[in-house]
Amino acid sequence: MLGARRASVSAAAGILQKAGTRGCVTILDKARLEEAACDCYQIVEQQKEKWNEETETRSPGRRKIGPPSIP
């Protein structure tokens, strides 16, 4: 979870698991979620993009870091 303490993440995951949504969460408003997150989210996103660019330069066609593809 974006910028949340581990205890908060564990509590939220437990609630989701009891609700039967284990393994699948849909983000309905990514912009609003990013707005509510701390600055660390943007830092992680920037680093991820940097790694993806470096990976593409070294190994063209290699899978990028990011969410899994949904068929």
Domain ranges of the chain: 28-59
User: What is the model's pLDDT at position 40?
Assistant: 78
Helices (H), 1-71: 6-18, 30-36, 39-58
User: What is the model's pLDDT at position 60?
Assistant: 73
4-62 confidence digits (pLDDT tens): 678 888 888 888 888 887 667 788 988 888 888 878 788 888 888 888 888 877 777 77
C-alpha distances in Å from residue 38, one per residue of 14, 28, 41, 59: 22, 19, 6, 32
Please state the separation of Cα 6 from the chain's center in Å. Answer: 15
The structure tokens 């437990």 sit at 14
